[in-house]
Structure 1
Amino acid sequence: MGADTRATAGNIIADKNIVKVHKLTDSIYACGAGTAADLDQVTNMLAGNMRLMELNTGRKARVITALRHAKQHLFQYQGYIGAYLLIGNVVRGSGVDPTGSHLYMCSANGTTMAFPYTSQGSGSYAAITVLERDYKPNMTKEEAADLCSRALIAGMHGDNMSGNSFRLVVIEPKQTENRGPIVPDFCKLTEPKDLEYKFKPGSTKVLKQKTIKYEVIESMDVSH
């Protein structure tokens, strides 16, 4: 999982090194987009609730539990809390979530969905194109980290509200590796600007054609 480090206030870069990767438990992390203050408060609340639950039960918190706490809290405010979250857990290992690895998206209004990969925020449109093109099941740790890095760089390159640097978090059973902040060299981007279009003209069948005739009327105001 990863996120860039830029926070903006309108057209102004307010902070170049903000933390958008938040620790909820040893095996669950959340990346956020939206309002920085809301993200900090929501993730701090989730981390506290998960820690209390682990102390009371003697068990590791599940990622679905963190997701449910997030969605029930945010739904009450119907989007007025600007926290858009990606919540994920460790890939594999004993002593963690017995149901396996998960990645969930939680919008500010409480809507949630599960994905094998996804992105959030203003740079997500550029990032998701890299993810959709190059994602494959059963990737190695370094392959996944490289894909996440390239997706973040694409998002930072294609969006003014994202940028400066990015952080990665590699969640493993015994330890979590934090990488960054990493400052990409945009002068050495390896992503092609134009990808090959493999569909030949006429591949899409035209079901119906209709011609609409219209008349342009110009009016002039001659009043003084």
Structure 2
Amino acid sequence: MAFEFMPGATVVGISYNNGVILAAEKRVSFGNFVVNKNIKKTFSVTDHVGAACAGMVADMQVLVRQVEALAKIRKLETRRDVAPNSIAKLMSVIMFERRYFPLLTQVIVGGINTKPEIYTLDPLGSVLPDDYAAVGTGAEMALGIMDAEFKPNMTEEKAKELAVRAIRSAIQRDAASGDGIDVLVVSRTGHREETIPIRNA
């Protein structure tokens, strides 16, 4: 499996007292070539579940669209919101079914059910629950910041600050990451997005 040939990226997910923060930088690069400086890697799957992906842009977009459609059907059948762990399991099944021709993407799924939940998925569909996570070529730098500064039950503002700082740290050292940060906040009241520009990235 040549997962090391996936395009670079830095994506983080952090749980806080009332939801989760998903953040990703906007650069897409193959080797030394920057293909695009304005790609969205954070997605709202339902009102209370989001996903952030690193890897092949087409693969991440197809996966999210497919899961979004399945979640809508599931909601119509059960007449209630689909839980974050159900979304993560749906993605896992799709990715595992494609294991011989894998979707070259790593995913962080985050949302709120009775409490905030975060799951990391690799290209073969392994589901790993955690309080915070990072994927992509800049993940090591981002995790270094989050390991040192993450605290349970942080406020939304502190969690967002930490997510942005973790991605900024990765951007400074990872040439495949840069050009701004998309932030997706998923809370009990729904979701909202914002973009933070980065100078000289």
Common fold: TM-score over 0.5: yes
Which of 58, 64, 89 is equivalent to 1:43?
64
Tell me the residue number matched to 2:197: 183
Larger strand share, 1 or 2? 2
- The gaps in structure 2 that reach 5 residues or longer are 1-21
- Cα 1:175–1:71 change in 2 (3 A) is closer
- The answer to whether residue 21 in structure 2 is matched with residue 7 in structure 1 is no
Tell me the residue number matched to 1:157: 172
How many pairs are equivalent? 179
Note the C-alpha offset of 1:175.
3.2
Note the C-alpha offset of 1:59.
0.3
- The answer to whether residue 37 in structure 2 is matched with residue 16 in structure 1 is yes
Q: Which structure is higher in RCO with an 8 Å CA cutoff and minimum separation 6?
A: 2
| Matched AA of 2:198 | P
TM-score of the two chains, using structure 1 as the length reference:
0.77
- The answer to whether residue 181 in structure 2 is matched with residue 166 in structure 1 is yes
Tell me the residue number matched to 2:140: 125
Structure-2 separation of matches of 1:68 and 1:80 = 16
| 2:46 aligned counterpart, secondary structure | coil
- The answer to whether residue 168 in structure 2 is matched with residue 146 in structure 1 is no
Tell me the residue number matched to 2:119: 104
Structure-2 separation of matches of 1:121 and 1:25 = 24
Structure-1 separation of matches of 2:199 and 2:84 = 35
Which of 102, 107, 118 is equivalent to 1:80?
102
Which of 32, 43, 46 is equivalent to 1:25?
46
Larger helix share, 1 or 2? 2
Rg larger in structure = 1
Deviation string, structure 1 residues 175-199 (Cα, Å, up to 9, x no partner): 322111x123469xxxxxxxxxxxx
Tell me the residue number matched to 1:192: none
Q: Is the 8 A contact 1:42 1:83 kept in 2?
A: no
TM-score of the two chains, using structure 2 as the length reference:
0.85
Bigger drift between 33-42 and 171-180 goes to 171-180
Deviation string, structure 1 residues 24-73 (Cα, Å, up to 9, x no partner): 10110000011110000001101111011111211000111111111111
Tell me the residue number matched to 2:81: 60
Q: Is the 8 A contact 2:44 2:191 kept in 1?
A: no
Query: Pairwise mapping of residues 184-223 of structure 1 onto structure 2 (< 5 A)?
Result: 184-185=198-199
Q: Is the 8 A contact 1:32 1:85 kept in 2?
A: yes
Tell me the residue number matched to 1:218: none
| 1:89 aligned counterpart, secondary structure | strand
| 2:132 aligned counterpart, secondary structure | coil
